[in-house]
Amino acid sequence: MWRATRSGDGAVSGAEARRAGERATRTAAREAIAAVSDEPALRRSALVQLQPLTARVTVDGKPFVAPGRQRGEVLEVDVVVPVLPLSQSSGLEAAIAPLGRNTRYVASPVVLGALLAESGIEDVVAVWLGREVTGVCVVRDGAPVGARSFSIGAGSFDPRPAGEAAHDAAVWARCVALAASDAVGDRDLPAQALVAADPARADALATALQGALSLRQRTGGTRSEPLTQTQLRNLDADFALEIADLVAVAAASAA
């Protein structure tokens, strides 16, 4: 919760509430990132740096920044700020405790799978390519049944020669297929896969993944394609979400 002090105790206008929400989001995001970054145990951890845009995003009509409870000259603002470090929660607890914030820990691959399930995509291999990591979640019958992650992200592709792009995509796809198979055990994999990745490589990765997953299907094949914002029917935003923002929204919606 963030509190803004204003002059006078008149009713808060919509513009004033919006500005307060934006300030609250920026402040909370800055404090959370700083706290985690300053924790000695986490200084070498990868962090998803978040943009303070969640005030303009709703899931199932629920905003992540909710101005309310005006008390005289004080306006209280409820803010959800997701921080996604690749770390065990024990280190996070030590880093965030001084902030006095309510904290909930979620697994980013799982919450992305849950967001897809809530959008009516009930059987899918959900994959997101982060900067330092790839997350994989298998959704069956409208619920995540298993998730894995591995340390190959977009940053691993950047320094590679352009001529190796197809080979690199195939290697990545085999890692995803192995992770998905391990996540479900002896259960069949879904026939659909959705890849959340930057537009420059999403199509190539989805194509490579389709081939890799098809080799692991017991019956039938796999249809793989890039994940688009329009497929998330319970999410509303007036701007295009980046991959990090999409996972952040999924994490925040689970809070």
Residue ranges of domains in the chain: 2-105, 108-234
Task: Spell out the alpha helix ranges (H) of 59-136.
Answer: 89-96, 108-118
Query: What is residue 54's predicted lDDT score, i.e. its pLDDT?
Result: 47
**Assigned CATH topology for domain 108-234:** Nucleotidyltransferase; domain 5 (3.30.420)
Q: What does the pLDDT read at residue 171?
A: 96
Q: Give the position of tokens 């391990």.
A: 182
Q: Model confidence over 128-150: pLDDT tens digits?
A: 998 888 999 999 999 999 899 88
The reported pTM is: 0.68
Tens of pLDDT, residues 4-52: 555 555 566 667 666 776 777 677 767 766 665 665 555 544 444 444 4
Is the torsion defined by CA of 152, 153, 158, 164 positive or negative?
positive
What band does 243 get if pLDDT is binned at 50, 70 and 90?
Answer: confident
What radius of gyration do the chain's Cα atoms show?
20
Cα separation, 179 vs 173, whole angstroms: 10
- The rounded Cα 138 to chain-centroid distance in angstroms is 15
Confidence of residue 111 (pLDDT cuts 50, 70, 90): confident
pLDDT of 125 over the 90 cut: yes
| Dihedrals phi, psi of 133, to nearest 5 degrees | -150, 155
The CA distance from 97 to 41, in Å, is 14
Range of lowest pLDDT (155-159, 175-179, 242-246): 242-246
CA distances from 255 to 66, 135, 137 (A): 14, 19, 18
Q: State the helix-helix crossing angle for 165-184 and 199-214, rounded to 10 degrees.
A: 60
